[in-house]
Amino acid sequence: MKFNRHRSIQFVVIFLIGLTLGYGLHTKQPLAIIENKSEINQETTQIQTNNQLDLGNFWKVYNTIKDNYFDASTFSSQKQVDGAIKGLVDSLDDPYTVYMDPQENEAFKSSLDGSFEGIGAELSINKGGLVVIAPLKQSPAELAGLKAGDIIYKIGDEFTADMTLMEAIMKIRGEKGTFVVLTVLRENETEPLVISIKRDTISIPSVEYNDLGDDIYHINLYQFGETTNAEFQKAVQELLLKSPKGIILDLRGDGGGYVDAAIDVLSEFVLGKKEAVKIKYRDPSKNYSMYTNEKGKLNNIPMAVLIDEGSASASEIVAGALQDWGRAVLIGVKSFGKGSVQELDNSFDNGASLRITVAHWFTPNDRSIQDLGVTPDQIVQYSQEGYPEGMDSQLDAAIKLLK
């Protein structure tokens, strides 16, 4: 079918420049981020030590640098301490556990406002390097040619191999009208690609639907954000007036958002109170589940769900639950695999923050998604060759299923 879903702006949870660190689970926090809990940091001013922990070498190196380093102007006690803390966090080799200094933390919080200036893409770090989860549709990143799966090899003249995710984000972000040059490695390309991207204002839409004919309706979920539930409820009310015979829920390129919004969306497709997601901590006594809220207005309408490598976190919770329940057929390619939960500790006196992985989430059937993703019931590749003509093989497969 000729339908160019790529003309609409597609939301992927965006951090600042359109880059996100990935998200987790809780009310009023981006999915996978839980606001600071008291037990995570009861004492922030006292270093806790034991017989096996010796900080003598740290202070020896610190004092040697402070007293002897040639260019004294580059030494700042707080800067060096922040660097040491980041080194401690980086040693966990977890891209979602991040210490943000005051400047980075302020930038992170400002990115949650709904629109900002940047390039419009979501990033993560895996064993392959700094990888693009998904560019925002019609964003500067997509228009310049950045694609899901691209590995960013260089930012300007700097190699990314030793950068943290936060460092990479701070180097790519910038003011509207300025340029950033990314060198990327792409599958099936023999040489690196150099992509120049002009930063712009990034707007964040949420829900869009359209009539595909034969009483089949296509719902694009671009994010699970602050306004998603209200927009989705409006779409549901309008769809019910049209007596749909089939619904295609499109989660491609949806990098996540708020868990409340994910549960609200799931609740419209099933009757009763059903377990939607399990959250498991290191301490099993903290484990809990989240349930649908018994809405179910669309529960009897056949449906298909589209996912791809840009579907992450909240969208994987929705796709995974619908698949486990046998409620929908999943079509596309394996999702990203963001199944970890972070807590956000904002209790630092200097305005810094620590985001730390404290749990993983699992589907109702106890499937782990972390690094594994959700595998669709029907594997259908998206044809880049059909993109200019608006051809969409995955959407075609969903329409065929529902007819």
Q: What is the pLDDT of residue 341?
A: 86
- DSSP count for the chain of H helices, then E strands: 9, 20
Contact 268, 232 (CB under 8 A): yes
Distances (CA, A) of 310 to 10, 133, 151, 355, 373: 11, 5, 14, 22, 10
In 3D space, the residue among 234, 173, 171 whose CA is nearest the CA of residue 202 turns out to be 173
User: Is residue 243 one of the residues assigned to a domain?
Assistant: yes
Least confident span in 120-134, 157-171, 381-395: 381-395
Tell me the backbone φ, ψ of residue 294, rounded to 5 degrees.
60, 40
Number of structural domains in the chain? 1
What do you get for the CA distance between the two ends of the chain, in Å?
Answer: 13
Q: What is the pLDDT of residue 114?
A: 52
Beta bridge partners of 256: none
Q: Could you read off the pLDDT of 190-222 as tens digits, one per residue?
A: 999 999 999 998 876 689 999 999 999 999 998
Q: What is the pLDDT of residue 389?
A: 60
The CA distance from 257 to 24, in Å, is: 8
* Higher-pLDDT residue of 40, 403: 403
Active site residues: 313, 338, 342
User: Is residue 306 one of the residues assigned to a domain?
Assistant: yes
Separation of CA 148 from chain center: 13
Under the banding of pLDDT at 50, 70 and 90, the label for residue 383 is confident
Contact 23, 13 (CB under 8 A): yes
* Higher-pLDDT residue of 178, 36: 178
Q: How many CA atoms lie within 13 A of 235 on its CB side?
A: 22
* Contact partners, residue 94, CB within 8 Å, separation at least 6: 340, 357
User: Is residue 390 one of the residues assigned to a domain?
Assistant: yes
Residue type at 207 in one-letter notation: V
In 3D space, the residue among 307, 245, 300, 313 whose CA is nearest the CA of residue 14 turns out to be 313
The CA distance from 160 to 56, in Å, is: 32
User: Is residue 330 one of the residues assigned to a domain?
Assistant: yes
Contact 41, 114 (CB under 8 A): no
Q: What is the mean pLDDT of residues 304-322?
A: 95
pTM value is 0.75
DSSP 24-92: ---TTSBTTEEE--GGG-S-SSS----TT---HHHHHHHHHHHHH-S-GGG--HHHHHHHHHHHHHHTT
Q: What is the pLDDT of residue 6?
A: 31
User: Is residue 320 one of the residues assigned to a domain?
Assistant: yes
Rg (CA), the chain: 22
pLDDT at residue 13 above 60? no
Under the banding of pLDDT at 50, 70 and 90, the label for residue 241 is very high
**Alpha-helical regions (H) of 92-132:** 102-110
Q: For residue 393, what are its two tokens?
A: 């093989």
Residue type at 136 in one-letter notation: L
Question: How many Cβ atoms sit within 10 Å of the Cβ of residue 79?
Answer: 11
* Contact partners, residue 71, CB within 8 Å, separation at least 6: none
User: Is residue 339 one of the residues assigned to a domain?
Assistant: yes
The residue segments making up the domain with residue 364 are 205-402
Say which CATH number the domain at 254 has.
3.90.226.10
User: Is residue 33 one of the residues assigned to a domain?
Assistant: no
Name the pairing type of β-strands 329-332 and 303-307.
Answer: parallel
Q: How many CA atoms lie within 13 A of 384 on its CB side?
A: 6
Q: What is the mean pLDDT of residues 255-264?
A: 87
